[in-house]
């Protein structure tokens, strides 16, 4: 009987250890400009939780970062990534966001990338569903939590003391943080400043630093080894050198074909999968929901504060809900309008511009489903991006 050979396993272990202990600066050249370009639309979860790809993206003048949540994955014909692939303007949209990524997740990311945000133009798309009265849930935060960004926030903060304290307080409300004894202690030392907690944090700091360096190495290796899978499918015949009126006409024609089985102007596939099986149960489902008392406003204020500290140049986009559907769901117009006004005032109070699309609630085909941009909805954003990029 042939004895099993452990040579491949041993070789793999040796190779892994060699890579693990190679200084990062020797591996960084492996992250090429082409690699960053491929990540621009890949919506890669590991990239969102890391820092190295985003850092390289922010250093380049060739990218316009767009931060948001699940709407970014609706890569239809008029989505900025497809539109500007056909009609280039000198910058490429770089997408950072997925479902469940709300204000505080973005705050941690911005806090980590603060140096690269200086004078950087960016888009930030706000979703009304973030602002229900419960705010960010334990489940959604856990699913998008970055241990690397959290440890860097605790050990090598780039933001002011005030933001460190507020950020630490908020982090300590989440179970995924409270269950990490080392991270919890480091953050508690920022908040409480008592001698006992600070001594505990000082003891843990060397071990926390080693863990952070291991997380940085993992991020770097993923950035090198990741194979992007998302591909764009632009349709030049619908968007190439078209006037805005022609684009809207094409968007409506495309949407009509795909939204035929309901009177809410919702995409057929989404309606059949997400709504039709529980249509009756959803009637009035949101009648007791509130949008004006959410902890999300405080989380969003942290986003505004860190972008202000960084001297970033954001353009915020306030997206509406599907008015036809939300009337059926029972969330009052008064509550919705109150949210639109409140979020606009919060942004403008900090001196930032906002593209307010709230008057499109009852605009057929502006949204692809109940709340996600699609078809016509991307067009005013495409137009705003052109104006925004060319502003001096």
Write out pLDDT tens, residues 12-66: 555 555 556 666 665 667 788 899 999 999 999 999 999 999 999 999 999 999 9
Q: In the chain, how many H helices and how many E strands?
A: 20, 5
Question: Do the bridges between strand 92-96 and strand 63-67 make them parallel or antiparallel, or are there none, so unpaired?
Answer: parallel
Fold (CATH) for 28-145+231-390: Rossmann fold (3.40.50)
Q: Give residue 241's region: left, alpha or beta (phi > 0; psi -120 to 50).
A: left
Handedness of CA 255, 258, 264, 270 (dihedral sign): negative
| Residue 3 clears pLDDT 70, i.e. is over it | no
- For the cut 80, the answer to whether the pLDDT of residue 6 exceeds it is no
With a CB cutoff of 8 Å and minimum separation 6, the contacts of 310 are 110, 114, 115, 117, 118
Contact 373, 74 (CB under 8 A): yes
Rounded alpha-carbon distances, angstroms, from residue 86 to 95, 187, 235, 236, 340: 17, 47, 8, 6, 32
Report how far residue 218's alpha carbon sits from residue 205's, in angstroms, rounded to the nearest whole number.
20
pLDDT digits (tens, 9 = 90+) for 241-275: 999 999 999 999 999 999 999 999 999 999 999 99
Residue 193: CA count within 13 A, CB half-sphere? 4
How large is the average pLDDT for residues 305-318?
98
Strands 121-126 and 92-96: unpaired
Structure tokens at 148: 């690397």
Contact assessment for residue 292 and residue 343, using Cβ atoms and an 8 Å cutoff:
no
Q: Determine which of 45-49, 62-66, 337-341, 378-382 has the lowest per-residue pLDDT on average.
A: 45-49
Question: In percent, how much of the chain has pLDDT > 70?
Answer: 93
> How many CA atoms lie less than 13 Å away from 371 in the CB half-sphere?
16
pLDDT higher for 281 or 8? Answer: 281
Q: Read off the pLDDT of residues 80-132 as tens digits, 9 standing for 90 and up.
A: 999 999 999 999 999 999 999 999 999 999 999 999 999 999 999 999 999 99
CB atoms within 10 A of CB 273: 10
* Sign (positive or negative) of CA dihedral 51, 52, 57, 59: positive
Query: Which DSSP string do the residues of 303-362 spell out, in sequence order?
Result: HHHHHHHTT-EEEEEEPPP-HHHHHHHT--HHHHHHHHHHHHHHHHHTT--EEE-GGGTT
Q: Which residue has the tokens 């950020």?
A: 167
Decide if 358 contacts 291 (C-beta within 8 A): no
The pLDDT of 145-161, averaged and rounded, is 98
| 230's tokens | 């998302």
Task: Please state, rounded to an integer, the average pLDDT across all residues of the chain.
Answer: 93
Residue 1 has pLDDT above 50, yes or no: no
3-class DSSP state of 63: strand
Distance CA 98, CA 44 (A): 9
Q: What is the mean pLDDT of residues 211-237?
A: 91
Q: What percent of the chain has pLDDT over 90?
A: 87
Q: Tokens 């990311």 identify what position?
A: 109
What distance in Å separates the CA atoms of residue 113 and residue 107, rounded to the nearest whole number? 10
């Amino acid at each position: 009987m042939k004895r099993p050979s452990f040579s491949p396993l041993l070789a793999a272990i040796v190779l892994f250890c060699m890579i693990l202990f190679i200084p990062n600066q020797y591996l960084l050249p492996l992250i090429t400009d082409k690699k960053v370009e491929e990540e621009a639309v890949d919506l890669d979860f590991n990239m969102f939780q890391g820092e190295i790809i985003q850092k390289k993206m922010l250093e380049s003048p060739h990218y316009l970062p767009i931060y948001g949540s699940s709407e970014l994955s609706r890569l239809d014909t008029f989505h900025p990534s497809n539109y500007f692939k056909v009609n280039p303007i000198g910058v490429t949209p770089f997408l950072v966001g997925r479902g469940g990524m709300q204000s505080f997740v973005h705050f941690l990311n911005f806090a980590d990338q603060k140096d690269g945000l200086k004078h950087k133009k960016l888009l930030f798309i706000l979703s009304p569903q973030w602002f229900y009265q419960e705010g960010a849930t334990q489940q959604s935060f856990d699913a998008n939590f970055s241990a690397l960004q959290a440890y860097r926030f605790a050990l090598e903060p780039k933001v002011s003391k005030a933001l460190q304290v507020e950020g630490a307080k908020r982090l300590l409300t989440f179970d995924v943080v409270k269950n990490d004894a080392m991270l919890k202690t480091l953050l508690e030392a920022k908040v409480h400043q008592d001698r006992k907690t600070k001594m505990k944090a000082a003891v843990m700091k060397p071990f926390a630093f080693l863990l952070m360096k291991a997380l940085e190495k993992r991020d770097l290796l993923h950035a090198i080894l990741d194979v992007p899978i998302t591909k764009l499918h632009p349709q030049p015949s619908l968007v190439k050198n078209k006037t805005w009126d022609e684009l809207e006409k094409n968007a409506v024609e495309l949407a009509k074909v795909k939204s035929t089985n309901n009177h809410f102007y919702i995409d057929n596939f989404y309606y059949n999968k997400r709504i039709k099986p529980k249509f009756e149960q959803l009637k009035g489902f949101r009648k007791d929901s509130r949008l004006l008392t959410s902890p999300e406003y405080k989380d969003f204020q942290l986003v505004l504060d860190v972008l202000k500290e960084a001297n970033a140049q954001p353009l915020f986009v306030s997206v509406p809900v599907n008015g036809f559907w939300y009337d059926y769901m029972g969330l009052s117009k008064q509550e919705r309008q109150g949210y639109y006004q409140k979020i606009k005032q919060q942004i403008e109070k900090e001196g930032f511009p906002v593209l307010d699309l709230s008057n499109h609630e009852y605009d057929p085909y502006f949204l692809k489903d109940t709340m996600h941009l699609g078809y016509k909805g991307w067009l005013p954003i495409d137009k705003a991006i052109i104006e925004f990029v060319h502003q001096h």
